[in-house]
Amino acid sequence: MRLEQLKYIIEVANCGSITVAADKLHVSQPNISYAISSLEKELDAVIFHRTRAGTETTEIGRSIIEQAQEIMNQVEILKNTSRNHGSLVEGTLTIGAISGICTSFLPKTLSAVKTKYPNVDLVIHEGHSGEIEEGVIHGKLDIGLVGIPGDYEFKHLHAHPFMVCKILACVGASSPLASKDKVSFHDIVQYPVVASSEHMRKELKRYGTPKELFLSNRTEAAKLVIAEGIATCFYLDVSLKTDPYVKTGQIIPIPVKEDPEVQLFWLHSRKKQTVASEAFIQEFLNQVNQFNRLKFF
């Protein structure tokens, strides 16, 4: 009995056809047929009935395939254990991330990855979702961590959603909006705002002409202005969970009545991921799960 025989019967069962399975596995049809026949002879059991319509799994065949899948799952676990051993994972990993992810999940992810995989060099680029997507497409970034409001199709990349976040309005303690339980976009445009994403600019323009007080790509510089109570800005709820300005009451997050949301994705090219990339994403998603258990403000 060989592992490739188990792989073949699993694929044939999934496809319902030896021909289709051969195409998917890039193996000749006679090779698969011979492998299955040899396995049936060895087990003294008929796994498939061949019909004009395709291939049907027998009752005993279903049981054999179920156990074969368990074996292949264990084989994959063994492979991952070996290749993800810290001392064996190496290389440079270049990651692009939006600000909200840089200030939430990413710091502890970087710390954990460097501890587990000391031979992996991490390079982080903070940017907007559009430029991060382009960076992954053109091979400048190995992984992209982006936030997308509304529906969007990533045409040239694999995109994996991992969380939906709320967008909150942030004001200083002395702001006229600070006492409100909720604010609307109509409320917000009555006062100065710190320039936010192009998406939020478009949203605000539906309710009036935003008075943009401050233009900056530096998150911390913007927060200093907000803390003075003279402007409003927007941040993802996850980025505020551990924010020192929020914890000390210098910045007050307020829900928005229109309830704007952002879907977070991690992106990679259609090429096979490196071991270092897989190890990073595994740790990143682990940190996302842990971060979700933190209480808000």
- Over residues 273-290, the mean pLDDT reads 88
Q: pLDDT tens digits for 148-160?
A: 998 888 888 999 9
Determine the straight-line distance between the first and last CA of the chain, rounded to whole angstroms.
58
Q: pLDDT tens digits for 99-129?
A: 999 989 999 999 999 998 888 999 999 999 9
Q: How far is residue 96's CA from residue 140's CA, in Å, rounded to a whole number? A: 9
Nearest to 150 by CA among 6, 29, 265, 10: 265
What share of residues in the chain are helix, strand, coil (percent, to 5)?
A: 45, 25, 30
Task: Evaluate whether 237 touches 168 at the Cβ level (below 8 Å).
Answer: yes
Alpha helices by DSSP H, listed for 26-176, are 29-43, 59-83, 99-102, 106-116, 129-137
Beta strands in 127-246 (DSSP E): 143-148, 158-172, 192-194, 211-214, 233-236
| Sign of the Cα pseudo-torsion (137, 157, 274, 122, in order) | positive
| Residue 207 confidence (pLDDT) | 92
Percent of the chain with pLDDT over 90: 57
Question: Which two structure tokens, joined as six digits, stand for 126?
Answer: 């903070």
Q: How far is residue 122's CA from residue 91's CA, in Å, rounded to a whole number? A: 9
- Over residues 56-80, the mean pLDDT reads 86
Q: Is the pLDDT of residue 84 over 60?
A: no
Task: Evaluate whether 131 touches 257 at the Cβ level (below 8 Å).
Answer: no
| Residue 62 confidence (pLDDT) | 92
Q: Which long-range contacts (CB under 8 A, 24 or more apart) does 107-111 make?
A: 108/287, 108/290, 108/291, 109/280, 109/283, 109/284, 109/287
Task: Kindly state the DSSP code that residue 256 receives in the 8-state scheme.
Answer: B
The pLDDT-based confidence of 200 (bands split at 50, 70, 90) is: confident
